[in-house]
Amino acid sequence: MKRNHIIIKGDGRLNEDALIINERHSLYGVADGVSSLVPFTSAENLTGGFIASNTAKKYLESLMPVGLDLSSEVSNINDILHTKMKEYEIDKNRKEQLWGTALAAVHITENGVEYIQTGDCMILAVYQTGEVRQLTILQVDHLEQAVIDTWRQCIKRGLKTKAEIMPHVKNQLIANRQKSNTGNGYGVLNGEPEASDYFEYGKINKVGLTHLIMLTDGLFLPAESIPDGIPYWDHVAKSLLDKGLEKYAKDLIDLEESDPECITYPRFKKSDDKAGIVLGFK
């Protein structure tokens, strides 16, 4: 098995994404930290999103090669985050104060691949036939699309900068945060006991499998850049494998730099943190 990975800081002070690489356990993944809407930094000057994603990283990388239940282990991470926030006197009843992490991870076994996901990290499987198979969905997509629609409406009305547009979507973003780990919202590891109810997990076999791709949302291509008639994730996977992870990321950053106010390609920040892993089975 071959492995390529990349991690790149975006616009923020810290890179709140993390790579998970546990060679002993053939366990790999990406985590995307989610900071609270209420300003928070630790005594070490770390954001909540950084603490959360790196808590997931350290926990999964420290596991020993023994019997593994991904769902139980990720639930343990959520419990650890709950304890950490309690130590920092975060009010668990105020979702805007909570911080956490999205996660996508795989465990490679002799005959198959076990996977788990929560939030908006993605896992794609690619086969010898060229078929691209989504193992996961974007749990936040139905909420974020409504915000992006508002963003586009602002552009149509003549607004030309992020600073002008953000006040028009801020309340939507706050309302979305209230829907964490609920039936009309999305899953995320943020210490809430309901988080485990929203894990996506399962197992596939490796017959015909050539690649597994794990990405945080900073490596997603803008929808407007996808050619007409081509399924979104097919284009993402094939572009990434054709170019290689580093060239794919560089081209995406060049595109982001060409649109710093997020007008041509509507999004919430010029450049998000990026973490990706590609596993090859050829």
Distant-in-sequence contacts of 245-251, Cβ < 8 A, 24+ apart? 245/4, 245/5, 245/6, 245/276, 245/278, 246/6, 248/219, 249/6, 249/8, 249/219, 249/274, 249/276
| CATH fold group of domain 2-137+187-276 | Phosphatase 2c; domain 1 (3.60.40)
Structure tokens at 76: 């343990």
List beta partners, residue 32.
17, 102
SS3 98: coil
d(CA 279, CA 237): 12
Low-confidence ranges of the chain (pLDDT < 50): none
pLDDT score recorded for residue 67: 75
pLDDT score recorded for residue 111: 86
Task: Please give the single-letter amino acid code of residue 155.
Answer: I
pLDDT score recorded for residue 68: 84
- Structure-derived torsion over alpha carbons of residues 25, 14, 52, 277, reported in degrees to the nearest 10: -30
pLDDT score recorded for residue 65: 65
Closest by Cα among 137, 118, 102, 117 to 16: 102
d(CA 47, CA 50): 5
